[in-house]
Structure 1
């Protein structure tokens, strides 16, 4: 069941506040021990089901929810959709926990509003780094992993054809930036590629977020694939 911590910890005001959503108690306790022993992070609550995660996220308004996919009562994807879609969840980022056996959930998770995903066999350092990245408002999009997964599962999914979702109001330069985001380039890499300043790239990204009604960089990647600005690596390999 859920455990809730409401009393402020010393120095908690500047800490990244994390809600753990994981049905395996031993694994959840391990995450809590790691996070609470890391300067600048604190666990503010624990949930053993998706429904508990939604309730606690609305009550605690954490910076990051570390969300398992397979949980009782409500899976992590639906819980993510509800958290990210609620007014209380506007400042909360969701980091999905997955395994290579659950790759089919990655695209659905990002569509639900997650800011990224983490493989369960990641190291402690990778977990802490992922929490920091997501808490900082960035999407956790590793070009060698996430782009392949999104591409593969977009190809498999029964999605709305690209022609039904034009990039209304997006300028040619913004389309270039969007394409490079989907290819996994950082802001600095995009700036170098297009001979722009990093500040100008950030401005273009801000415009794209507003025009495409995207929550963050992860959803911009999805928009680029759905508009077929880029294609999946599998499709590229076949030359189609």
Structure 2
């Protein structure tokens, strides 16, 4: 099992993300932290394999936490994936230079996080296979660095390019965004089918999700084409 530390200043968001991790086969949550100081302490004490790191924390921002983890010999080997609402380029650059494996923008779906976790799991397994060797060949290195989540042009099993284009054009024609139900009406697909394509576009970075708040009930996921 890959051991994960979930970090978010919001207790409810941390609970949701922990649920996403727990429902991903091969992963388990070993702890939750809500401040930067708690993150550093938890990584030292729990030694997780992966930290899902929020940027907006009440004491230290996530980039400062990432730098502190990388500077400490006791925590330097722990991998980090940033999960945040921060979209500014300086933060993204700081995460990249700090050694974050990926940067996932909130709000995201369980499917989007699961895809990134599965990619991490695949990379983790390949590195473990190499650990018994003194040196690695180029093919071994390519297997680790070259294994990426699906690209925008590759559809997962069960989705077709013709239908993907239909949903793509519907999003492009509605710059204010569409919910899954609205997309289903526009494209004459079932709601579950429309949602699968919409979530695929979110997972590959072609679309983004914003929450639409109504008068009552839970907010609705609204999909926007990013071009």
Please state if 1:111 is matched with 2:49: no
TM-score, normalised on structure 2?
0.52
Q: How does 1:177-188 map to 2 (within 5 A)?
A: none
List gaps (5 residues or longer) in structure 1.
1-14, 139-198, 207-215, 218-240
**Count of residue pairs the alignment pairs up:** 135
- What SS class does the counterpart of residue 89 from structure 1 fall into? coil
Structure 1 residue aligned with 2:138: 200
Contact kept? 1:61, 1:91, Cα under 8 Å = no
Structure 2 residue aligned with 1:46: 32
TM-score, normalised on structure 1?
0.50
CA distance in 2: counterparts of 1:124 and 1:22, whole angstroms: 16
CA distance in 1: counterparts of 2:89 and 2:11, whole angstroms: 23
CA distance in 2: counterparts of 1:104 and 1:135, whole angstroms: 28
Structure 1 residue aligned with 2:53: 67
Q: Which has the higher contact order (CA 8 A, sep 6+)?
A: 1
CA distance in 1: counterparts of 2:45 and 2:113, whole angstroms: 24
Structure with the largest fraction of helix = 1
Structure 2 residue aligned with 1:85: 71
Q: CA RMSD in A?
A: 2.7
- Structure 1 or 2, whichever has the larger Rg, is 2
| Compared CA separation, residues 135 and 81, structure 1 to 2 (3 A) | farther
Structure 2 residue aligned with 1:187: none
Q: How does 1:89-238 map to 2 (within 5 A)?
A: 89-99=75-85, 101-137=87-123, 200=138, 202-203=140-141
- What SS class does the counterpart of residue 74 from structure 2 fall into? helix
List gaps (5 residues or longer) in structure 2.
125-136, 147-227
